[in-house]
């Protein structure tokens, strides 16, 4: 007999609507699993058990409406939830309690989802692995010696281990797609401006985006429908779309022209053979479904890397840190902030201008295609601690750049992009591939992803880690 965590998020909501299961039962089930298993996974930095039960009881007495009513959805610890502690992955924020809700949190609550707690994230969301001073490392449940990625590492680990049916994440340089790849999930980085960061978090260069992580395309699409919104004062607004994203998860995409390339934008980066195998497997799967696959040169060149790095240095300085708490920063964060504070305003603006020019030129290429296929990351999941071997922040940053050499360009361009969990290597580790689409066209990515998922028998072959 299927257990609650075997059900998809949409199936759980359907069970609530039919009164076959209550939001309280669902919530208690996940809280029990978190208590028993999260010590191995490191998915949560804060568990809000009492609040979750109270919320579930209120929903149980209400009228179920919407595709995710009664479904638990945890919030990443970079997002504000009023009256709940938020660390931003940093010991410098110990004792800080969020004064307001992010509007995306309000949207999720209004849709009848239940917050189990806050999922772990690396310090200020800067690294592509989730190892902090405030909670244990986040690990992929496929091999507990290996990292769950970052910066939505806790969110991905929670979903992949059955400690949540789906999760809210965010993505500034691959932070949804990287952990989705190493945890074997479907994750969506939406178009720039699709989901507001209001009321406090600024848009700035527009590289960060809230988005969903889930086991299935339909669950992610339903979550994206709930999260999508804009607020007055937002600097960016994505193009409008018709209907719902969930509708596109059951709609045939038609025959698509899909470009592909596998040369990383970061110079001297080498693809692991397992990554190349996943990329070729995805190409063959798409071709077998009738899509035209076209090899192209990378639309972005290596000249964008130093410009992106300049922005990343500056972004490391965005969170205020009290002088008497600066010694609590992790070495990588301190190293990035030192370089960020040394970056002049003209240098920052010149870097952003250069990236905008590169985007304008790149979109002339990618807009000729319905989607673009690349690897997601360049290696299988890395061991916990691997990025920080040698205690040299500069070496750590170089390892990050080479490992995550593909995703960040779509944060620069603002295009939507997804991770597809199509391939597992001989060691049983997930190796994702990435599809990016035209600006505003998450719908096509969702349709073709659902088509691929169905071609594998549904649920990507229904793979589950041993601890499931």
Q: Is 413 a catalytic residue?
A: no
Tokens of 422: 């199509």
The answer to whether residue 151 is catalytic is yes
pLDDT at 460: 85
Active-site residue, selected from the candidate residues 170, 175, 196, 283: 175
How confident is the model at residue 120, as a pLDDT? 99
Per-residue pLDDT at 231: 97
Active-site position among 76, 118, 189, 401 = 76
Judge contact between 86 and 118, C-beta under 8 A. Answer: yes
How far, in Å, CA of 168 to CA of 188, rounded? Answer: 10
Which pLDDT score is estimated for 1?
A: 59
Confirm whether 76 is a catalytic residue: yes
pLDDT of residue 461: 73
Indicate the CATH number for domain 7-462: 3.90.1300.10
How high is the pLDDT of residue 2?
Answer: 86
pLDDT of residue 382: 98
90 has which bridge partners?
none
Q: List per-block mean pLDDT (blocks of 10 residues) for the chain, which spans 468 residues.
A: 92 98 98 98 98 98 97 98 98 98 98 98 98 98 98 98 98 98 98 98 96 98 98 97 96 98 98 98 98 98 98 97 98 98 98 98 98 99 97 97 98 98 98 98 98 92 91
Closest by CA to 400, choosing from 287, 305, 314, is 305
CB 232 within 8 A of CB 21: no
Q: Where are the domains of the chain?
A: 7-462
The residue from 138, 147, 151, 283 that is catalytic is 151
Beta carbons of 157 and 215 less than 8 angstroms apart: no
pTM as predicted: 0.98
């Amino acid at each position: 007999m299927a257990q609650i965590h075997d059900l998809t998020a949409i199936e759980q909501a359907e069970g609530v609507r039919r009164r076959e299961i209550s939001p309280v039962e669902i919530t208690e089930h996940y809280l029990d699993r978190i208590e028993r298993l999260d010590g191995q996974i490191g998915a949560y930095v804060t568990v809000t058990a009492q609040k979750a039960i109270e919320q579930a009881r209120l929903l149980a007495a209400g009228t179920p409406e919407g595709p995710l009513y009664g479904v638990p959805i945890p919030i990443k610890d970079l997002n504000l939830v009023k009256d709940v502690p938020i660390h931003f992955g940093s010991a410098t924020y110990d004792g800080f309690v969020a004064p307001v809700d992010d509007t995306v949190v309000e949207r999720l609550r209004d849709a009848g989802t239940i917050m189990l707690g806050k999922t772990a994230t690396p310090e200020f969301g800067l690294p592509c692995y989730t190892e902090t001073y405030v909670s244990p490392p986040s690990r992929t449940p496929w091999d507990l010696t290996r990292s769950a990625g970052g910066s939505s590492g806790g969110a991905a680990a929670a979903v992949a281990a059955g400690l949540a049916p789906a999760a809210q994440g965010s993505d500034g340089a691959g932070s949804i797609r990287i952990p989705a790849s190493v945890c074997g999930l479907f994750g969506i980085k939406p178009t720039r401006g699709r989901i507001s960061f209001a009321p406090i978090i600024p848009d700035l260069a527009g590289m960060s985006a809230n988005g969903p992580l889930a086991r299935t395309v339909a669950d992610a699409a339903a979550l994206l429908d709930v999260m999508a919104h804009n607020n007055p004062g937002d600097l960016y607004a994505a193009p409008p779309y018709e209907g719902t994203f969930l509708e596109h998860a059951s709609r045939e995409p038609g025959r698509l022209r899909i470009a592909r390339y596998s040369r990383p934008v970061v110079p001297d980066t080498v693809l692991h053979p397992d990554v190349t195998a996943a990329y070729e497997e995805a190409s063959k799967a798409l071709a077998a479904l009738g899509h035209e696959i076209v090899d192209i040169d990378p639309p972005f060149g290596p000249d964008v890397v130093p410009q992106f790095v300049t922005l990343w240095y500056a972004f490391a300085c965005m969170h205020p840190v009290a002088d008497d708490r600066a010694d609590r920063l992790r070495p990588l964060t301190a190293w990035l902030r030192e370089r960020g504070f040394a970056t002049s305003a003209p240098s920052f603006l010149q870097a952003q201008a250069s990236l905008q020019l590169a985007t304008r030129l790149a979109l002339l290429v990618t807009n000729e295609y319905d989607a673009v296929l690349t690897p997601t990351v360049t290696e299988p999941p890395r061991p916990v601690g691997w990025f920080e071997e040698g205690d040299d922040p500069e070496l750590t940053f170089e390892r990050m750049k080479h490992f995550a050499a593909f995703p960040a360009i779509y944060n620069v361009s603002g295009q939507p992009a997804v991770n597809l969990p199509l391939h597992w290597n001989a060691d049983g580790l997930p190796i994702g591939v990435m599809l990016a689409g035209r600006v505003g066209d998450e719908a096509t990515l969702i349709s073709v992803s659902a088509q691929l998922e169905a071609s594998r028998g549904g649920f990507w072959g229904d793979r589950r880690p041993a601890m499931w």
